[in-house]
């Protein structure tokens, strides 16, 4: 589904031009107050031109027509920038909409594989109904797997060709409408109504019409409107002053209304005013190109202001899929006995770690292969609260209660049964933890049998990425269920700033609230139901598409690739949007300085001849200077459209360094470029021999 739409795509350019023309209506222009002033100026100068043709004007019709046309072009270019940004979003929405299709589904009367079923259209399904989906069939609507296990092709949503496993229970039970089952079968409980599916929400999210202005964007809009009103008041007072000066001097020429309109348009922040909306739309579009669906522009902007990143250890900082590498038996227990107990406690554990324990026991000690189905046993699943799993097994000698889990959890379990936690076991736990590995303790009832070492590997390049974030002033916090020693070893190797060990759902929530109480913005990722409270609390919450429905509903972003490290990319995209807005605002304000030297001497030289000394660019004539400034004011908008859509190049620098860079490139550039641009346009107009009669 991942698709990039070029700024220079011919189809997009054509459609954007048509949309720009369609927006030349008062109702459409009113939404942008700055450009609405330019729009009124274009209408007013057009009226003055018609009056000039009838011989009722203070300036020549050629000069007025040139000003009027370029004011219309200014409005058109601003419309074109926004239309092009929204056109890219619509193209992305159209590609998503093409994935929607009405399919036939097998609706079950009862929630079970053996239940009777009837064929219905997917549009007739409702929340709470059950459907059976077998190999080769499309999942009709979003839902939760309540029975079965199957591989599912989600490439239409995520763009990844590798199928994923979906099964009942756990954090991988959520399925998305429009994806295809490749093997086996699933019984799915529908969790949405038609029109409310994840695909529908994705389409609505990327539709530009649904984008709301962010707080910073609204604040900047207020500033731009304030500056516009200020300049408007200044321009209104200039006409009486000019009339008074000419009357008192008995000579000179009153500044014309056309010149005043041109002066107003050149002085108000038209550059950033014309591009502001396009920058916001393009920010959400870049998120979409990264395969991240943002529910609002506020979430994208908040990502750029994040102070603290909460990152899960497994799968984010480390490669995940920890592998069992060694058994450390308690004195009096043979390694084979420990391996057998660990194998039995792991038979129902389908995680990579659980399977690696079974494999290590078989390879090291020649234990026979067993399956959970052949045992008369009651298996105890792992939970975030108990942090243990195991099996209660009936044997000729009686009931064996085998447990495998975190050291502190097994300690509490053993002590609750009247046993004790041997010192050698604690020493083994500490030794494994100091190496950065994860210790799992195995117990048989009240007796501790030993320790299993799980090795975890930090992903390449993570230390460098965290160093970049640190230079940006962002604190990184690793969240893990491991014990403090293991967490400290991994944190030191990865280079994170802090860590939270033995983290439970309530611990994550408390940590987020603690940082927010200190005035910091917090971002985190999550995929499980137990992550939902923390995701709902975080300022930027990226939920994995492979995770549960609860996690996706709690987050304000959904990562279609289900890549936990995407959070770092999300932060970079948010910062890029803020940097782009700041850079273009700086450039726009700096532009005005050059325009002062071009248009103010030209506008008032007839009233105050002494102002000719300020014509430092040596422009050919007052009329040529004014027209050149207006043309530059229009062209600079269209020249900056690619930058507004693509974004300013992101670099991981501190705030002070970013400010210096911004002022040097866009502040100084905003001063120099207009001098050169206006002079070149003036030379071209002079070379063409245009007369402004």
Q: pLDDT, tens digit, for every residue of 176-189?
A: 887 888 888 899 99
Stretch 565-583: mean pLDDT: 82
Confidence at residue 347, expressed as pLDDT on a 0 to 100 scale: 81
Q: Distance between CA 328 and CA 82 in Å, rounded?
A: 65
Of all residues in the chain, the percent with pLDDT exceeding 70 is 87
Question: Which helix (H) or strand (E) is 395 found in, with range?
Answer: strand 388-395
Quick one: which of 586, 611, 322, 282 has its CA closest to 458? 322
pLDDT value of residue 47: 93
Of 390, 410, 408, give the one whose Cα is nearest residue 399: 390
Mean pLDDT, rounded, for 513-541? 85
The C-alpha atoms of residue 448 and residue 452 are separated, in whole angstroms, by: 12
Residue, of 434 and 510, whose pLDDT is higher: 510
Indicate if 312 belongs to the active site: yes
Most confident of 24-38, 54-68, 406-420: 406-420
The closest alpha carbon to 284, from 221, 204, 178, belongs to 204
Helical packing angle, 352-365 and 335-346, nearest 10°:
150
CB burial readout 527-536, b (16+ within 10 A) else e: bbbbbbbbbb
| C-alpha span between 673 and 670 (Å, rounded) | 6
Average pLDDT rounded to a whole number, residues 355-376: 79
Closest CA to 441 of 417, 464, 418, 413: 413
- Catalytic, out of 312, 527, 563, 592: 312
Return the pLDDT at 3. Answer: 47
Only one residue has tokens 């549960």, namely 548
Q: What is the largest CA-CA distance in the chain?
A: 122
* Integer Cα distance of 96 and 518 in angstroms: 41
Mean pLDDT calculated for residue range 622-627: 85
Mean pLDDT of 664-681: 88
Summarize pLDDT for 482-526 with one digit per residue, the tens. 778 778 888 888 889 999 988 888 888 899 999 999 988 898 887
Which range of 441-445, 487-491, 595-599 scores highest in mean pLDDT? It is 441-445
Give DSSP secondary structure letters for 4-40. ---TT-HHHHHHHHHHHHHT-SHHHHTTSHHHHHHHH
Pairing of strands 180-181, 143-153: antiparallel
Q: Evaluate whether 82 touches 17 at the Cβ level (below 8 Å).
A: no
Tokens 């990865």 locate to 494
> Do 92 and 284 meet the contact criterion of CB atoms below 8 Å apart?
no
| pLDDT tens by residue, 337-354 | 999 899 888 887 777 778
With a cut of 50, say whether residue 598 has pLDDT above it. Answer: yes
Least-confidence region, from 156-160, 192-196, 240-244, 315-319: 156-160
Give all strands of the β-sheet with 557-559 in edge-to-edge order. 292-294, 557-559, 540-544, 522-526, 308-312, 475-479, 498-500
56 token code pair: 């009722």
Identify the band that residue 162 occupies on the pLDDT scale cut at 50, 70 and 90. Answer: low
Would you say 551 and 527 are in contact if contact means Cβ atoms under 8 Å apart?
Answer: yes
The C-alpha atoms of residue 324 and residue 449 are separated, in whole angstroms, by 16
Q: Which of 25-29, 122-126, 208-212, 552-556 has the lowest mean pLDDT?
A: 208-212
Which residue spans within 80-155 are E strands per DSSP? 104-108, 117-121, 130-134, 143-153
Q: How far does the chain reach from its first CA to its final CA, in angstroms? A: 57
Share of the chain above pLDDT 90, in %: 15
Contact 562, 527 (CB under 8 A): yes
pLDDT tens-digit map of 199-244: 676 666 555 444 456 667 778 888 888 888 988 998 888 888 888 8
Q: What's the CA gap between 636 and 417, in Å, rounded? A: 77
The owner of tokens 């346009």 is 681
Q: Dump the DSSP string for 521-561.
A: -EEEEE-SGGGHHHHHHSSEEEEETTS-HHHHHH-SEEETT
Residue 89 clears pLDDT 70, i.e. is over it: no
CB-count burial class (<10 Å; 0-12, 13-18, 19+) for 167: middle
The mean pLDDT value for 630-637 works out to 90
Take residue 383 and report the two structure tokens written for it. 């939970």
Which tokens is 692 given?
A: 């402004």
**Which pair of tokens denotes residue 507?**
């611990």
Joined tokens for residue 99: 């994935």
Identify the bridge partners of residue 395 per DSSP, sorted by sequence position: 398
Is 528 or 423 the better-scoring residue by pLDDT?
A: 423
Q: What are the angstrom distances between the C-alpha of 478 and each of 84, 346, 489, 503?
A: 40, 27, 12, 10
pLDDT, mean over the chain: 81
pLDDT in tens, 273-301: 888 877 877 777 777 777 787 766 677 77
61-97 vs 257-267: helix crossing angle, rounded to 10? 40
CA atoms of 26 and 5, how far apart (whole Å): 30
DSSP-based three-state secondary structure for 318? strand
Give the C-alpha separation, 602 to 625, whole Å. Answer: 6
Q: What is the pTM of this model?
A: 0.62
């Amino acid at each position: 589904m991942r698709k990039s739409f070029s700024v220079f795509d011919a189809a997009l350019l054509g459609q954007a031009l048509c949309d720009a023309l369609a927006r030349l209506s008062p109702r459409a222009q009113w939404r942008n107050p700055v450009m609405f002033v330019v729009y009124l100026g274009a209408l007013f100068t057009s009226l003055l031109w018609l009056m000039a043709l009838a011989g009722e004007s203070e300036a020549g019709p050629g000069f007025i027509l040139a000003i009027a046309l370029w004011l219309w072009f200014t409005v058109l270019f601003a419309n074109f920038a926004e239309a092009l940004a929204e056109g890219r979003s619509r193209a992305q929405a159209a590609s998503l909409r093409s994935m929607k299709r009405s399919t036939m589904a097998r609706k079950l009367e009862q929630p079970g594989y053996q239940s009777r079923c009837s064929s219905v259209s997917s549009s007739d399904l409702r929340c709470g109904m059950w459907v059976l989906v077998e190999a080769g069939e499309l999942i009709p609507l979003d839902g939760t797997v309540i029975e079965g296990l199957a591989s599912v092709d989600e490439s239409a949503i995520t763009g990844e060709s590798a199928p994923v496993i979906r099964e009942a229970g756990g954090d991988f039970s959520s399925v998305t409408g429009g994806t295809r089952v490749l093997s086996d079968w699933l019984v799915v409980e529908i969790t949405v109504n038609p029109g409310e599916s994840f695909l529908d929400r994705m389409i609505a999210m990327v539709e530009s019409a649904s984008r709301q202005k962010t707080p910073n964007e609204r604040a900047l809009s207020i500033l731009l409107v304030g500056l516009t009103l200020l300049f408007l008041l200044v321009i209104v007072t200039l006409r009486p002053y000019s009339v008074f000066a000419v009357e008192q001097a008995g000579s000179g020429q009153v500044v014309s209304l056309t010149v005043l309109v041109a002066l107003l348009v050149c002085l108000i922040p038209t550059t950033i005013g014309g591009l502001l909306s396009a920058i916001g739309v393009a920010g959400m579009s870049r998120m979409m190109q990264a395969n991240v669906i943002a529910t609002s522009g506020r979430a994208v902007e908040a990502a750029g202001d994040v102070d603290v990143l909460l990152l899960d250890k497994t799968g984010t900082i480390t490669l995940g899929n920890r592998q069992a590498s060694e058994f450390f038996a308690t004195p009096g227990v043979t390694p084979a006995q420990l391996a057998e107990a660990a194998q039995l406690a792991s038979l129902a554990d389908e995680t990579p770690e659980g399977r690696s324990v079974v494999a290590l026991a078989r390879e090291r000690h020649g234990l026979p292969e067993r399956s959970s189905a052949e045992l008369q046993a009651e298996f105890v699943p792992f939970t975030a609260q108990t942090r243990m799993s195991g099996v209660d097994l009936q044997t000729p000698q009686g009931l064996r209660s085998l447990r495998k889990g975190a050291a502190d959890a097994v300690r509490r379990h053993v002590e609750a049964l009247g046993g004790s936690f041997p010192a050698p076991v604690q020493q083994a736990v500490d030794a494994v933890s100091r190496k950065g590995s994860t210790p799992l303790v195995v117990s048989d009832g009240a007796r501790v049998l030993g320790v299993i070492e799980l090795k975890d590997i930090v992903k390449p390049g993570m230390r460098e990425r965290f160093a970049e974030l640190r230079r940006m002033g962002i604190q990184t916090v690793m969240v893990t269920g491991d014990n403090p020693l293991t967490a400290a070893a991994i944190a030191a190797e990865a280079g994170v700033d802090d860590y939270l060990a033995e983290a439970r759902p309530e611990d994550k929530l408390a940590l987020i609230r603690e940082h927010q109480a200190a005035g910091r913005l917090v971002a985190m990722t999550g995929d499980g139901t137990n992550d939902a409270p923390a995701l709902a609390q975080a300022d930027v919450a990226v939920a994995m598409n492979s995770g549960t429905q609860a996690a996706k509903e709690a987050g304000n972003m959904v990562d279609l690739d289900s890549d936990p490290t995407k959070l770092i990319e999300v932060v970079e995209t948010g910062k890029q949007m803020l940097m782009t807005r700041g850079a273009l605002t700086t450039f726009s304000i700096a532009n005005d300085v050059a325009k002062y030297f071009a248009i103010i001497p030209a506008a008032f030289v007839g009233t105050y001849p002494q102002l000719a000394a300020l014509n430092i660019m040596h422009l050919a004539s007052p009329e040529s200077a004014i027209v050149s400034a207006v043309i530059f004011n229009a062209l600079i908008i269209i020249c900056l459209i690619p930058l507004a859509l693509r974004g300013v190049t992101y670099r991981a620098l501190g705030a002070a360094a970013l400010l210096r860079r911004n002022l040097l490139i866009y502040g100084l550039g905003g001063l120099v470029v207009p001098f050169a641009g206006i002079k070149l346009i003036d030379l071209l107009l002079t070379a063409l021999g245009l007369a402004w009669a």
